[in-house]
Amino acid sequence: MNQSTATAGHVEVLHLGIRFDIKGAAMEAVQDVSVHVRPGEFVSLIGPSGCGKSTLLNAVAGFLKPSAGRVLLDGHEVKGPGSDRGVVFQQYSLFPWMTVRRNVEFGLKMKGVSASEREAQARTLLGLAGLLSFENHYPDQLSGGMKQRVGIVRALATGPQVLLMDEPFGALDSQTRVVMQEILTNMWQRLRISVLFITHDIDEAVFLSDRIYVMTARPGRVKSELVVPLPRPRTAEMTGTPQFLSMVRTLKGLIREESLAAMGGELRDGGLGGLSTEVGPAGVGQLV
Ligand SMILES: Nc1ncnc2c1ncn2[C@@H]1O[C@H](COP(=O)(O)OP(=O)(O)OP(=O)(O)O)[C@@H](O)[C@H]1O
């Protein structure tokens, strides 16, 4: 497993609270959340829409200041964005006027890395992502999946200890998404980097993660923490195993409870009384 070899990239979110001011009223988006990512670990956050997943990730990225609690990276308090954390969003954030390789080199250039070293590092990572033959293409000559692969490579180029990914495959069609998951798990396996990953796709979370946090409806708190017991490296065949399917079923039950709670019981009150909020048999997802 990765976490046995990586030594940096330990994220600790301790009793995090984040409040937004909306028209003069405080709105609590995240409440008393404690989560962690060990060095080299792949951890996902899932939960109903609006439960504060992006807010939490933005606090780890240093884009948002906690209203309560702390975020630590390798024991040091996060006080703002830094090159020790790479961020990938759902929207492709490439510079359209730069080639693929120039896009990847951009962060290295900002760090003052020499042209020859930049080129070597960019080409190594592009090779890992299967994009070397596209290094001189421009973003608008690439498919959505390729653009997002360039986005991931660009986030990795400056050598962060932690990769923060907010629904990175959300805009892709389902076939491309599955391929991207395999590419990401292979890259992660080689790079030994810590990942905090947000997704709405439960299969994706199970396929990629070592552990999964399920969040409650707003204000977001940690509802459950599950260890994914599947071996590494992950392969597409594993998605059909009873272990995988049982874990997906467990997570679906947990999310469904919270989605119903987020709707304030409106569905049941509206006459859909047959809807059950009970979670099915816990299966293999080991609750910790
Ligand atoms: N900058 C902001 N100002 C005010 N409210 C905000 C801000 N950012 C987020 N919120 C609110 O905080 C809550 C949590 O939002 P957030 O985007 O973190 O949820 P999420 O779980 O990532 O949602 P989704 O799964 O739909 O992307 C929502 O009610 C959202 O409207």
User: Which atom of ligand 1 lies closest to the CA of 215?
Assistant: 21
For residues 259 and 218, the answer to whether their CB atoms sit within 8 Å is: no
49 Cβ inside 6 Å of ligand 1: yes
With the most atoms of ligand 1 within 8 angstroms of its CB, the residue from 33, 44, 46, 54 to mutate is 54
Q: Which region holds residue 130: left if phi is over 0, alpha if psi is between -120 and 50, else beta?
A: left
281 has pLDDT over 50: no
| Phi and psi at residue 143, to the nearest 5° | -75, 170
Binning pLDDT at 50, 70 and 90, where does residue 192 land?
confident
Whether residue 133 is contained in a domain is answered as no
Q: Give the domain extent around 173.
A: 2-84+160-287
Cβ-based neighbours of 252, under 8 Å, separated by 6 or more: 202
User: Which atom of ligand 1 lies closest to the CA of 30?
Assistant: 14
Whether residue 99 is contained in a domain is answered as no
CA distance 23 to 260: 27
3-class DSSP state for residue 155? helix
103 has pLDDT over 60: yes
Alpha helices (H) along the chain? 53-61, 100-110, 115-128, 144-157, 174-191, 202-208, 242-262, 266-269
Calculate ∠ Cα 14-12-164, nearest 5°. 120
pLDDT (mean) for 284-288: 43
CA distance 121 to 108: 9
Tell me, what's the pLDDT at 186?
Answer: 92
Whether residue 146 is contained in a domain is answered as no
For residues 73 and 238, the answer to whether their CB atoms sit within 8 Å is: no
53 Cβ inside 6 Å of ligand 1: yes
274 has pLDDT over 60: no
Closest C-alpha residue for ligand 1 atom 23: 50
Whether residue 101 is contained in a domain is answered as no
For residues 54 and 166, the answer to whether their CB atoms sit within 8 Å is: yes
On the 0-12 / 13-18 / 19+ scale of CB atoms within 10 A, 130 is middle
Binning pLDDT at 50, 70 and 90, where does residue 270 land?
low
Whether residue 154 is contained in a domain is answered as no
User: Which atom of ligand 1 lies closest to the CA of 18?
Assistant: 12
Whether residue 143 is contained in a domain is answered as no
Closest C-alpha residue for ligand 1 atom 30: 50
Q: How far apart are the CA of 20 and the centre of ligand 1, in A?
A: 9
Question: Which letter, b or e, does each residue of 218-238 get, where b requires 16 or more Cβ atoms within 10 Å of its Cβ?
Answer: bbbbbbbbbebebeeebeeee
25 Cβ inside 6 Å of ligand 1: no
Could you tell me the CATH number of the domain that includes residue 59?
Answer: 3.40.50.300
Q: How far apart are the CA of 134 and the centre of ligand 1, in A?
A: 36
CA distance 97 to 177: 26
Output the pTM of the full model: 0.90
pLDDT (mean) for 213-219: 94
H helix or E strand, kind and range, residue 114: none
Report ipTM (2 d.p.).
Answer: 0.97
Whether residue 110 is contained in a domain is answered as no
The number of folded domains in the chain is 1
216 Cβ inside 6 Å of ligand 1: no
29 Cβ inside 6 Å of ligand 1: yes
Q: How far apart are the CA of 30 and the centre of ligand 1, in A?
A: 9
46 Cβ inside 6 Å of ligand 1: no
Whether residue 109 is contained in a domain is answered as no
What tens digit of pLDDT does each residue of 131-181 get? Answer: 999 999 999 999 999 999 999 999 999 999 999 999 999 989 999 999 999
